[in-house]
Structure 1
């Protein structure tokens, strides 16, 4: 039985794009006993929640979405018709979540 203070080594996965830690529960992190175990888990389970490992880098769902939009462009729905005098309807990309106004500011 282990008691007291222990030094335990484990593997934690971080996104190579933004540095976010892999987690399935907010503010919790997954710990693995080896890099191989982490890779097997990410490639098997991670695809279901958006993380991907390509043999070199591991990327979170947000970085994958941004990369997709950089390569193929953003995907916006058709603007809804608004009543005369009402505020404009700002659309967001259905892939990465960036708003149309943020893209205009970057230009």
Structure 2
């Protein structure tokens, strides 16, 4: 049994594009026992994060890339409200 102060190693995930840290719902870093474990976890497209075997992309960067590639998808605005992209939230006047 471990007791007291113990140094342990773990793996956390950062976006290759923006450096964002992969966190749980409480905002805490998700720790993995190995890079293999982290890669396997991300392979399922967890919470919008993508891993293609080489690069890790966070949900925000993935959405931005989708809009850059295909254009924004604006919804009709409500009365006196600016239309916003349903993917990234950008207003139609940008």
TM over 0.5: yes
CA distance in 2, matches of 1:52, 1:93: 21
3-state DSSP of counterpart to 1:100: coil
Q: Which runs of 5+ in 1 are unaligned?
A: 83-87
CA distance in 2, matches of 1:43, 1:26: 22
Q: Which runs of 4+ in 1 moved over 3 A?
A: none
Quote the RMSD (CA, aligned, Å): 1.4
Task: Tell me by how many angstroms 1:38 deviates.
Answer: 0.2
Task: Tell me by how many angstroms 1:16 deviates.
Answer: 1.0
Task: Tell me by how many angstroms 1:21 deviates.
Answer: 1.1
Q: Where does residue 39 of structure 1 map in the other structure? A: 39
Q: Where does residue 85 of structure 1 map in the other structure? A: none
Q: Where does residue 60 of structure 2 map in the other structure? A: 62
Task: Tell me by how many angstroms 1:99 deviates.
Answer: 1.9
CA distance in 1, matches of 2:42, 2:46: 9
Structure number with larger C-alpha Rg: 1
CA distance in 2, matches of 1:64, 1:71: 11
> In the superposition, relative to structure 1, how do residues 26 and 17 fare at CA in structure 2: closer, same or farther (>3 Å)?
farther
Task: Tell me by how many angstroms 1:48 deviates.
Answer: 4.4
